[in-house]
Amino acid sequence: MSPTITHVLLPLILGIVLAEPTQAIKQSYIVYLGSHSFGPNPSLVDLESVTDSHHDFLGSYLGSIEKAKEAIFYSYNRYINGFAAVLEEDEAANIAKHPSVVSVFLNKKRKLHTTHSWNFLGLERNGGYPETSAWRKTLGEDVIIGNLDTGVWPESKSFSDEGLGPIPKRWRGICQTHKKAKDKFQCNRKLIGARYFYKGYEANFQIKLNESLLSARDNEGHGSHTLSTAGGSFVPGASVFGIGNGTASGGSPKARVAAYKVCWPNPIPFGGGCFDADIMAAFEAAISDGVDVLSMSLGSEAHDYFEDGIAIGSFHAVANGIVVVASAGNSGPLPESVSNIGPWMLTVAASTIDRDFASYVTLGDKKIIKGGSLSEYGLSSDKAYPLISSADAKYFNGSISEALNCQDGSLDPEKVKGKILVCFGDILESNGEAIRVGAVGLLLLNERNAGNEVLPQPYLLPAANVGFEDGNYIYNYIRSTKSPTAYISRVITELGVKPAPNVALFSSRGPNPIDPAILKPDITAPGFNIIAAYTEAVSATGLESDTRITPFFSMTGTSMSCPHVAGLAGLLKALHPDWSPAAIKSAIMTSATSTDNSRKPIQDSSLNEATPFDYGAGHIKPNSAVDPGLVYDLNITDFLNYLCGRGYNSSQLKMFNHKPYTCPESVSLADFNYPAITISEFGPGNSVNVSRTVTNVGSGRSTYMVRIKAPPHVEVSVEPRKLRFKKKGEKKEFRVALTLKKTESTTDFGFGWLTWTDKKHHVRSPIAVNMTQVR
């Protein structure tokens, strides 16, 4: 088939219809106008009036209302005020100058935060569900958790409505279907809503999706996995091909769940993704539908708040009482790589759990090396098999780089048949090449940048992924041995692994690249080898040669840690329905731990002591979060004052807040009531003072004493040192003075902790201090 014919047929094969080419270069933009003046329950007349105003506004720039209607593909008319439209660059620039416009920005592409293909099984060994009758009774009952992702597999047992009562009357959502869709998608009393958003995807690529594809069904697995982790029902006997067998459940197993599909497939040559225009439309729908918690396992590099659809959408959600939980990203361990950095969001890093899927490699020199695998197969233990490096297995004139990665067609079957093949890089596709050349087993050795973390995969033959240092040993063994041999064991599920948790190598790091005074990430949670629901639309590996379907699968990424925290937030919302999103966030952060299961400080993947730039306030501790004692609360006015301090003016915030708002004459960002203290710069004398206010959510009468672990070379004092509360709901302010001492420190930041304790509760906040000013 000629290249020309292939280019014509490919979009049709993928279910895509190409749009007619345009003469002028246009792109899709979002025009953000702030908020609306009407209340939370707009009438149909209100909605139509807003959309008409959008058409009128854009028409004044394009020359007619008809052209505006053609250009606009989303009118945000309920909670967010704005529209998404296809515009030329100069048109967008002119619109941005209008005084009623907060911002105009491109319809940016986002990505899912999973690295590959802890459920709350892990929690059972690290705290479990809090041992309170109230907690066991609710299990998130009737809390509504929404998920922005790739959709959902509605037939999964994780979304069974067995034992659930009627759908909450406050639910206003729908189960969206398309009359031309190929599948019969149905919701129930568990999965109470589903919607899909695709117009931003189409506008970006200037294509039209085939109508048969328009469905909230998850055809990739990511959305089902994340939604079931947050709010999936109890499912006994869950495993990946018999590995890791146990009872799966979400963090809020009795919650009602809703799917908002904003991520679409990856058609060549266009590329898939999740786009801001669709994400903002999903946020607006979720607010209107009545969700309590939103989980969002996607993102990209950090942007200024008013040029970021996720930041804007999440602000409006939080302003309407919704807890928004977002993944930190998978760009670690690079500093300043964290995404989803709005202070109103709860941003989640990823850490390992105390469970491994281990496959052991025994070399001919008797050296035993632990690898990771989800392979159903194992080699016989009564014989050793010849071992060959892919570099030695290439064709005579073949490419060494292609051979090292075991790319398709790069290896000589005559050299490999009957041997264990050693490849470099964790490339699942090397399965196919190993099978093609007749290998009896496969070892995938991590390259240097992947470190020593191993990611189990459902290989199609006996196989294991091995860390960088162990991989070096294997490679040197092959080079130094005339007839190297090895054996690969069957997979063993190991529990109680120590130390755990560790911060995952891939987990994005702080400091916050947009506002260093706000600590990000906020928290860490299990995100490594998580078993949860999966799609049955694709095989376990996604390879054409793989016909295996699994209703549960193991995945890794901050995509997986995010819904753990969303599930916990759902539990707290069920127990404390009057708590604000900020109070729930504070409870989760101030109750976290920075100690692993060896009673030592949490480490990173290189076994160095981790810091708050790796894990935020620490690893979630559900038992303590249910009763935190004190919380650092924030309301919409606090967030608006924060934005004032960031340089936004009153006219911008008036549109943002839907009513007049005047910035205070002076705003100290250091006094923003965040559950962490981050000092990015000091004033005269290398000193700074900050204040915080805590609210008593525990018993009526209580007295808290302060404990300080000061960062190295920093003097910290707190006034008052004792807080006496007479009743629940009472607020108390305290002040913290921090002074840098002269030092020869070579570190950029120093870290410490501030803890309020009444002996029962330990309300702990991290302190991060920029040390560069004293050099």
Residue 22: Cβ within 10 Å count = 10
Q: What is the helix (H) or strand (E) element at residue 260, kind and residue range?
A: strand 256-261
Report how far residue 579's alpha carbon sits from residue 573's, in angstroms, rounded to the nearest whole number: 7
**Nearest of 34, 50, 35, 29 to residue 93 by alpha carbon:** 29
Report how far residue 84's alpha carbon sits from residue 198's, in angstroms, rounded to the nearest whole number: 12
Tokens representing 727 are: 């009743």
**Secondary structure class of 171 (helix, strand, coil):** coil
**Secondary structure class of 32 (helix, strand, coil):** strand
- Name residue, tokens 């907690």: 135
Report how far residue 26's alpha carbon sits from residue 204's, in angstroms, rounded to the nearest whole number: 9
Residue 16: φ, ψ to 5°? -120, 140
Alpha helices (runs of H) in 269-348, residue ranges in sequence order: 276-289, 309-319
Tokens representing 319 are: 């302003």
Report how far residue 419's alpha carbon sits from residue 434's, in angstroms, rounded to the nearest whole number: 10
Report how far residue 646's alpha carbon sits from residue 286's, in angstroms, rounded to the nearest whole number: 28
* 359, 559, 594, 702: the active-site residue: 559
Alpha helices (runs of H) in 616-726, residue ranges in sequence order: 622-625, 636-645, 650-657
Non-local (6+) Cβ contacts of 4 within 8 A are none
- Note if 149 is an active site residue: yes
* 36, 55, 113, 222: the active-site residue: 222
Non-local (6+) Cβ contacts of 578 within 8 A are none
- Note if 658 is an active site residue: no
Residue 152: Cβ within 10 Å count = 30
- Note if 633 is an active site residue: no
* 149, 218, 515, 758: the active-site residue: 149
For CA atoms 346, 347, 353, 356, give the dihedral sign. Answer: positive
Residue 100: Cβ within 10 Å count = 12
**Secondary structure class of 96 (helix, strand, coil):** helix
Q: Which residues pair with 732 in a beta bridge?
A: 694
Q: Which residues are catalytic?
A: 149, 222, 559
